[in-house]
Structures are given as structure tokens and as C-alpha cells.
Amino acid sequence: MTSGIENATQEIDELEFNICVWQISGFGEKYAAHRARCIKGAAYSGGLILFIGLAAALYGAAMLIFGPDEIIYPVLAGPTRYQYTQIYAQHIALIGGIMFILGCLLYSRRPMSEVEFLLSKYSLIALGGQNINAVAEIRYLGGDIFDVATD
């Protein structure tokens, strides 16, 4: 049984740079499989949950670290909302951390563009043996065909 991290990291195929128009066999099927696993709106909802979870986790951790050692409140009125956050700071930090993790998982299921998918799965190698992923300008032409230009 493999973990999710091992499944997410795949072996990178190396392509040799020798022409400007490339046809990468099997790219269309791999990209279609990626799109089938994606969740519509995952980038927005995952980012929002990620941000709220991070803020809650940081707030709870700050309350744990910098909060008071004891909280005094009137018995008849009960604690205020702020005092409740001081009382349950560890729960706020825990729930914020869980929301952050769930937001990261949801955000990772966002659909990537064809070029982003290509750069995440393939390494573009020039004839001299240098990696040109960072300097190449790539346009998707459709199917398995890409236009690659370097400066």
C-alpha cells in the first residue's frame, strides 16, 4: 500500500530539446485522467478553507503562548466570547490545523492548465543537457502538440 504522497509524486520523464514543435505521445490521456480527478471550484474553496484554517490555528497558538495563566469571570454572567477563546485555545488551534490540512488537500485537487501539467510531469532538457523548464515559453496547440520557444 502506498501513501498519498508517493502517489502524487511520479517519475519525471526527460524530453530532449531539438525542435520547436513537440508532439508528446500519451499527454492527452494523462491530462484527461488528471481532469477527471479534479474538483470544480477546488482552487477557490480550498484556498478559502486553507486561509481560514491558518488564521484560526495561528490565533489559537497565540492564545496558548501569550494568553493568561488564569481567567477570572463573574459566575452569573459567565465568560465573554474573548474569554471563551482563551479557555478553548487548544481546541481552536486544533480545529484550525485540521481546516488548514483539509484546505491543502482540496486545493491540490484544483485543475491545472495544460502547460502547468506538462511542466509538473516532464523535464525539458536542451541538447547541451541543461534543464530549460524555467526559461522556455510553452504554448499548448491541442492534442499532444506543444510549441516550445527559448530565448
- Other residues' Cβ atoms within 10 Å of the Cβ of residue 83: 14
Decide: 16 and 127 in contact? Cβ < 8 Å: yes
Spell out the per-residue pLDDT of the chain, length 151, in tens.
Answer: 433 333 333 444 545 444 477 788 888 888 888 889 888 888 999 999 999 999 999 999 999 999 998 999 899 999 999 999 999 999 999 999 999 999 999 998 898 888 888 888 888 777 777 777 777 788 888 888 888 877 6
What's CA 28's distance to the chain center, in Å? 23
Length of the chain: 151
Exposure of 131 in the CB half-sphere (CA atoms within 13 A): 8
What Å distances lie between residue 40 and 8, 49, 105, CA to CA? 19, 15, 14
Counts of helices then strands in the chain (DSSP H, E): 6, 5
Q: Is the pTM of this model over 0.75?
A: no
